[in-house]
Amino acid sequence: MDKFVIGGGRKLYGSVRAQSAKNSVLPLLAASILTENTVVIRETPPITDVASMAEILRGLGAEVRFCGEDVVIDSAHAANHSIPSSLTRELRSSVFMLGSLLSRFHRAACAYPGGCDIGLRPIDLHLNALKRLGVKIRERDGFIACECETLRGNEIVLDFPSVGATENILLAAVKAEGTTVLYGAAKEPEIVDLQNFLNAMGARVQGAGTDVIGIEGVKCLRGVEYTPVKDRIEAGSFLIACAICGGEIEVSGVDGKSLGLLLHKLRENGCKIHTKNDKIKITSGGRLKCNRRIETMPYPGFPTDLQAQVTALNAGASGDSLIVENLFETRYKYVPELIKMGADIEVRGRNAFVRGVGKLHGATVSCGDLRGGAALILAALGAEGVSEVLDLSHVDRGYAGFERKLAALGADIRRVRI
Ligand code: UD1
């Protein structure tokens, strides 16, 4: 168990490059078993979610090797179609494996998925879509068993643009007989990345990034070497860190368009933002005005994965703010921890009413989930005095070397083993 000891109040200066996107790498790892040839995913961040996904692939019989920043997957001898419940519960993304296992073996079994404790997170949209492709599903005692004779392309309508369901449908339909048309798809950049990856393997997918995706089934897919898109959520977290602390940093690797609403909100706070190609520069005086209202929405709306971080920002700014969380029911579990740092926040259902107190103070706080944990770290960087941030395992799921990158920007942050 590790903790961060953070001395607040240092301004941030310098440049930082975003890691490859966690939410892209995980579905790409799931997609790697669609071929018996070797797949290389370049610049894979050493986060624990990637390690868990590698364990799942090994459990299926695939060879997974980490060579520097690359991960090499060879699933020629994969034969197992069942994911042990210990691994499924640890990582929600294991649900994508249903689509790729069905493509590869026409059978798949796993326990109900886990992941961050941020709400109900049902998988009905995934399962109903798989049924539309001809999959028979049995559910018993929290276990899901799927099988089909062949996968058959079909029209699928998603009632809500679920990121995971969209990705699962792509993975299941890519080698199905005939064509699948998905209406109401999620439009996240990571879905475009999955389309590009699959097409580089020989798939015929088009339309990702819009709400209609067409997938023409192909007989087989080949190996690929691929560099995933960079992590807009990690990049956004650094920008918010600089906004809170003051200073000037440049984040590279991420197109400003994929963070459009965050950049707009940071300007509202009083920061200066400059974008060019894949670089975003932020300048902050450190004394911020609250955003009047931020409401999370599916892409291109404001990302739920940055909700906690902007709430931390507003908690230490001046004025009043309303944050509305529309994606997950219980994504405010970090709020009591922010209150220990002097924040004035009242949560009522999906709404968090934030009265900015101007400056937070150091405290000992615990991370309860990945992005809530990141928010506490950012709050501590801007707070007066020393903070201890406990339960870092949640943060290590998604941020590689977070403290190293922040320290290189001038933050006073150390990891301590306890
Ligand atoms: C993905 C991201 C996560 C992000 C989220 C929303 C990955 C690995 N994770 O999660 O970081 O916070 O998108 O941008 O990419 N829902 C259902 N039934 C379903 C599926 C989803 O009701 O079958 C609901 C969920 O409960 C939630 C909403 O849809 O309220 C969004 O979920 P979804 O887009 O599926 O998120 P994930 O794919 O789990």
User: Residue ranges of the domains in the chain?
Assistant: 2-18+230-417, 22-226
Do residues 172 and 151 touch, judged by C-beta distance below 8 A? yes
- Residue whose structure tokens are 């960079």: 230
Given the CA of residue 22, which atom of ligand 1 is nearest to it?
Answer: 8
Using most ligand atoms within 8 A of CB, pick from 93, 162, 324 the residue to mutate for ligand 1: 162
Class of domain 2-18+230-417: alpha beta
Q: Of 209, 366, 233, which Cα lies nearest the Cα of 305?
A: 233
Minimum CA distance residue for ligand 1 atom 21: 162
Given the CA of residue 26, which atom of ligand 1 is nearest to it?
Answer: 8
What are residue 234's phi and psi, to 5 degrees? -65, -45
Taking the model in full, what pTM does it have?
A: 0.97
Given the CA of residue 128, which atom of ligand 1 is nearest to it?
Answer: 23
Residue 116 annotated among the catalytic residues of the structure: yes
Binding pocket residue ranges, ligand 1, CB within 6 Å: 23, 26, 92-93, 119-126, 160, 162-165, 186, 304-305, 327-328
Using most ligand atoms within 8 A of CB, pick from 28, 90, 160, 194 the residue to mutate for ligand 1: 160
pLDDT at 85: 81
Lowest mean pLDDT among 135-149, 204-218, 221-235, 367-381: 135-149
Does position 121 have pLDDT exceeding 70, yes or no? no
Using most ligand atoms within 8 A of CB, pick from 120, 126, 327 the residue to mutate for ligand 1: 327
Q: Distance (Å, rounded) from C-alpha 59 to C-alpha 50?
A: 14
| Cβ-proximal residues to 172 (8 Å cutoff; 6+ apart), any chain | 98, 99, 100, 102, 103, 129, 130, 133, 135, 151
- Ligand 1 center–CA 160 separation, angstroms: 10
Q: For 215-248, how does the pLDDT look when each residue is reduced to its tens digit (9 = 90+)?
A: 999 999 999 999 999 999 999 999 999 999 999 9
Q: How many CA atoms lie within 13 A of 298 on its CB side?
A: 17
Q: What is the mean pLDDT of residues 73-100?
A: 86
Token readout for 223 is: 């190996």
Q: Distance (Å, rounded) from C-alpha 312 to C-alpha 286?
A: 13
Q: How many CA atoms lie within 13 A of 388 on its CB side?
A: 9
Does position 3 have pLDDT exceeding 70, yes or no? yes
Topology match between the domains 2-18+230-417 and 22-226: yes
Does position 141 have pLDDT exceeding 80, yes or no? no
- Ligand 1 center–CA 298 separation, angstroms: 9
DSSP per-residue letters across 230-269 = B-HHHHHHHHHHHHHH-EEEEEESS-GGGGHHHHHHHHHH
Q: Of 61, 51, 2, 4, which Cα lies nearest the Cα of 25?
A: 51
Q: Which CATH number fits domain 22-226: 1.10.3720.10, 3.65.10.10, 3.40.50.1950, 3.30.460.10?
A: 3.65.10.10
Given the CA of residue 115, which atom of ligand 1 is nearest to it?
Answer: 39
Q: For 304-360, how does the pLDDT look when each residue is reduced to its tens digit (9 = 90+)?
A: 999 999 999 999 999 999 999 999 988 999 999 999 999 999 999 999 999 999 999
Do residues 234 and 279 touch, judged by C-beta distance below 8 A? no
Rg (CA), the chain: 21
